[in-house]
């Protein structure tokens, strides 16, 4: 059985599962929103999850596709105990995902889904990729010096993307250019912030990595002032062109080293091709939206991913008979 | 916009020029729009994609250089091409993958219901089969004489299934028009309703309560008594996008992965096609759609249709195979002439 761990409204998960359904392959999806329990965890024997009434013995799982979310053992408890329950939940999550990691074929895993942006940049540089000069400071003097040296500087969050919903408005962390005035307006000491030299870009590249291959897309945004710093600020009238792209082999090889060091067998990498035609590595997002690469480039990643899960399921699965694995049309 | 003689021009991979008899079209599959271009610009793009501009100019007599200049400006302005002066960058821009596939064995279905009486169980059985086949888009067309109570039951049966439905229904003069808006609100799987044979006024759409629904619930005076209203080809129905383009390249853009039940309960490729594969109460829909015979028309793509095969609209246009003089003739209900480029 293929186990899919995701979140409720994830469109890509839905599309991959449509393929699993078409091929008639046994699969089960657990969403981060589902409340689960452990029916039993008999060390070195068997683990049986209870997912809203469905019994899932992990011995029957051959492949895990970890897309996002985690196992949610939430139980209503008195407020003071929530911290303890959270900690206990973490122990269980770590054990269960470790169990799956060692015993099953996993396409990504919760264990490796949270990467540290700063560490990843260092890894990338070690692998021979160019990175933008990156500086973290919470000191006004240092920030002004950095700005003086690098001239054009941007700031972005170090953690993962967030949304703050206020009545009627949504705030999102965009990458923004920083000016002298901005910094002069700060107190002498402020919360440590990431500053990066702004890179003049010819185009931006999003490379989805999976099964040892890269499926890349270039986003041509230069002609369009509004999106020059962060293409997520869509220009709704005329969306930036996104086209299929082929990274040079040596860039792919270096990226592969980074993914491997992070224990990731799938994920998205963001790069920039600067105006001097150098590839500059920006970041890796382990649970990146591959639908946004798959559709404009017609890569059919949803189908490829489903086939990958099925093929690996076949290698490990002893409970399936041939009839369950009708491939092709 | 500037360009230099040593620039190479690269056609953006998801913008694809298609040549017609008298003019061509660039299909902008990314922005989902299109532009007409003269055939000589089509030829120029095909010949010089990924070539140096100096060569294009060199091959063109100088009295036409101003036309060339205009063409290049047009392509740049629309961002149909990008320029690079580094030949080694050319390998970074692969062509678009033209594969088409969908997880669903049947992607769309039409069920017509008129005065012929079948058991509700026959229809709910079909709905379940369609759901198993992965069908996500359904059209229910109710014709005069249909049983309204059964219609409501069928719409309710969709609640547990994974498909959205478009409803076509005759207006019942004993109901206020708002009744149909309430239908839309009541059944979560209804995507849109078209109420035909309606001759009243639509003032109620001005009220706060109803206005938001005006785009989903449409009223028309047109009278639709059976399946024969279908198959009209007009620019209003054109769609420019990757799934439509790639499907049309290989398959029939109307019938591929479609199944229909006509108002007399016949399983067909489309309600207006004459071949029946059995009645819903004694045939297995799943078996039918897996048969070779049923799928034969799926691969009848536009390149096999006379006249359409030289039409610049051929990969954005829905191909009707029901209203045609002969199997591979141009749809009768298309009034476009690709030779003169006129709609008659
Ligand atoms: S073949 Fe023609 S009549 Fe039949 S469904 Fe398609 S457009 Fe309608
Ligand atoms: S001639 Fe054929 S391809 Fe062209 S618009 Fe008419 S039906 Fe469509």
Inter-chain CB proximity A22 and B98 less than 8 Å: no
ipTM over 0.85: yes
Looking at residue A173, its pLDDT comes to 66
Beta carbons of B184 and B166 less than 8 angstroms apart: no
Assigned architecture for domain A201-286: 2-Layer Sandwich (3.30)
Question: How far from chain centre, in Å, is Cα A136?
Answer: 23
Average pLDDT over residues A183-194: 89
Name every chain A residue with its beta carbon within 8 A of the beta carbon of B105. 22
The binding-site residues of ligand 1, defined as CB within 6 angstroms of any ligand atom, are B 230-231, 254-255, 270, 272, 318, 320-322
- CA nearest neighbour of A274 among A200, A190, A176: A200
In chain B, what percentage of residues exceed pLDDT 70? Answer: 100
d(C-alpha A303, C-alpha A20), whole Å: 9
Q: What is the pTM of this model?
A: 0.91
Strand-strand pairing, A266-274 and A279-285: antiparallel
Q: Where are the domains of chain A?
A: 2-111+308-324, 133-197, 201-286
Residue A326 has pLDDT above 80, yes or no: no
Residue A226 has pLDDT above 70, yes or no: no
Count CA atoms closer than 13 A to B1's CA, side-chain side: 17
Inter-chain CB proximity A246 and B92 less than 8 Å: yes
pLDDT in tens, A15-59: 999 999 999 899 999 999 999 999 999 998 899 999 988 999 999
Beta carbons of B275 and B268 less than 8 angstroms apart: yes
Average pLDDT over residues A222-229: 50
* CA B319–ligand 1 middle distance (angstroms): 8
Query: How confident is residue A329, by pLDDT bands cut at 50, 70 and 90?
Result: very low
In chain B, what percentage of residues exceed pLDDT 90? Answer: 89
Looking at residue A69, its pLDDT comes to 93
d(C-alpha A105, C-alpha B50), whole Å: 42
pLDDT in tens, A243-289: 999 999 999 999 999 999 999 999 999 999 999 999 999 999 998 78
Is the Cβ atom of B10 under 6 angstroms away from ligand 2?
no
Q: Where are the domains of chain B?
A: 8-92, 108-298
In chain A, what percentage of residues exceed pLDDT 70? Answer: 85
Candidates A244, A277, A303; nearest CB to B94: A244
Looking at residue A186, its pLDDT comes to 86
Q: Minimum-distance ligand to the CA of B300?
A: 1
Looking at residue A178, its pLDDT comes to 85
Count CA atoms closer than 13 A to B315's CA, side-chain side: 28
DSSP sequence for A272-289: EEETTS-EEEEEEETT--
Cα–Cα distance list, B239 to A220, A284, B150, B215, B339 (Å): 24, 35, 34, 19, 22
Residue nearest to atom 1 of ligand 1 (CA): B320
Average pLDDT over residues B62-83: 96
Q: Where are the beta strands (DSSP E) in A140-297?
A: 153-156, 163-166, 169-172, 176-178, 189-197, 201-210, 213-220, 241-245, 266-274, 279-285
pLDDT in tens, A124-174: 999 999 999 999 999 999 999 998 888 888 888 888 766 677 666 777 667
Beta carbons of A118 and A185 less than 8 angstroms apart: no
In the numeric block, the tokens 């209870």 are attached to: A50
CATH topology of domain A2-111+308-324: Rossmann fold (3.40.50)
Residue B317 has pLDDT above 90, yes or no: yes
pLDDT in tens, A85-103: 888 999 999 999 999 999 9
pLDDT in tens, B7-38: 999 999 999 999 999 999 999 999 999 999 99
Query: How confident is residue A239, by pLDDT bands cut at 50, 70 and 90?
Result: confident
Q: Is B298 on the interface with A (CB under 8 A)?
A: no
């Amino acid at each position: 059985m293929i186990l899919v761990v995701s979140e409720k409204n994830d469109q890509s998960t839905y599309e991959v599962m449509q393929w699993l359904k078409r091929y008639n392959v046994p699969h089960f999806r657990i969403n981060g929103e589902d409340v689960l329990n452990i029916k039993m965890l008999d060390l070195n024997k068997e683990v049986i999850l209870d997912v809203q009434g469905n019994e899932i013995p992990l011995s029957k799982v051959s492949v895990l596709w970890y897309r996002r979310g985690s196992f949610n053992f939430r139980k209503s408890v008195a407020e003071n105990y929530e911290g303890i329950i959270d900690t206990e939940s973490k122990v269980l999550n770590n054990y269960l995902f470790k169990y799956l990691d060692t015993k099953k074929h996993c396409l990504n895993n919760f264990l490796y889904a949270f990467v540290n942006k700063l560490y990843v940049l260092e890894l990338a540089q070690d692998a021979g990729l160019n990175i933008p000069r990156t500086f973290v400071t919470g000191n006004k003097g240092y920030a002004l010096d950095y700005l003086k040296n690098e001239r054009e500087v941007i700031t972005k969050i170090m953690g993962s993307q967030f949304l703050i919903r206020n009545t009627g408005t949504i705030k999102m962390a965009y990458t923004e250019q920083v000016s002298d005035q901005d910094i002069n307006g700060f107190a002498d000491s402020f919360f440590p912030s990431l500053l990066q030299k702004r890179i003049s870009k010819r185009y931006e590249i999003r490379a989805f990595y999976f099964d040892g291959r890269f499926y890349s897309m270039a986003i041509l945004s230069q002609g369009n002032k509004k999106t020059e710093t962060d293409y997520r600020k869509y220009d709704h009238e005329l969306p930036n062109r996104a086209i299929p792209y082929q990274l040079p082999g040596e860039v792919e090889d270096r990226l592969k080293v980074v993914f491997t060091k992070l224990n990731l067998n799938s994920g998205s990498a963001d790069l920039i091709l600067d105006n001097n035609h150098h590839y500059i590595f920006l970041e890796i997002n382990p649970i990146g939206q591959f639908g946004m690469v798959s559709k404009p480039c017609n890569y059919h990643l949803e189908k490829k991913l489903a086939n990958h899960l099925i093929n690996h399921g076949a290698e490990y699965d002893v409970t399936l008979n041939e009839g369950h694995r009708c491939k092709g049309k | 916009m500037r360009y230099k003689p040593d620039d190479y021009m690269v056609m953006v991979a998801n913008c694809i020029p298609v040549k017609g008899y008298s003019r061509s079209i660039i299909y902008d599959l990314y922005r989902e729009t299109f532009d007409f271009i003269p055939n000589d610009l089509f030829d120029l793009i095909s010949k010089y994609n990924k070539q140096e501009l100096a060569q294009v100019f060199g091959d063109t007599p100088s009295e036409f250089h101003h036309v060339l200049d205009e063409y290049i400006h047009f392509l740049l302005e629309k961002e149909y091409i990008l320029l690079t002066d580094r030949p080694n960058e050319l390998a970074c821009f692969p062509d678009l993958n033209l594969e088409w596939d969908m997880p669903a064995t049947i992607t769309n279905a039409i069920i017509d219901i008129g005065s012929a009486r079948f058991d509700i169980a026959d229809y709910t059985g079909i709905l379940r089969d369609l759901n198993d086949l992965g069908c996500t888009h359904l059209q229910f067309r109710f014709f005069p004489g249909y049983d309204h109570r059964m219609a409501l039951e069928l719409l309710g049966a969709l609640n547990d299934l994974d498909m959205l439905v478009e409803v076509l229904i005759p207006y019942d003069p004993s109901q206020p028009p708002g009744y149909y808006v309430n239908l839309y609100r009541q059944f979560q799987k209804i995507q849109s309703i078209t109420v035909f044979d309606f001759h009243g006024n639509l003032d109620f759409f001005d009220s706060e309560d109803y206005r938001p629904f005006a785009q989903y619930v449409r009223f028309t005076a047109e009278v639709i008594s059976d399946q024969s209203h279908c198959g009209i080809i007009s620019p209003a129905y054109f769609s420019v996008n990757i799934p439509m383009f790639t499907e049309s390249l290989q398959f029939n853009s109307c019938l591929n992965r479609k199944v229909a039940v006509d108002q007399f309960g016949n399983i067909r490729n489309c309600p207006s096609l004459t071949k029946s594969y059995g009645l819903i109460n004694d045939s297995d829909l799943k078996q039918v759609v897996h048969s070779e015979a049923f799928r034969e028309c799926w691969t009848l793509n536009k390149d096999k249709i006379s006249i359409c095969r030289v039409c610049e609209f051929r990969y954005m246009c829905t191909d009707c195979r029901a209203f045609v003089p002969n199997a591979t003739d141009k749809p009768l209900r298309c009034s476009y002439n690709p030779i003169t480029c006129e709609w008659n």
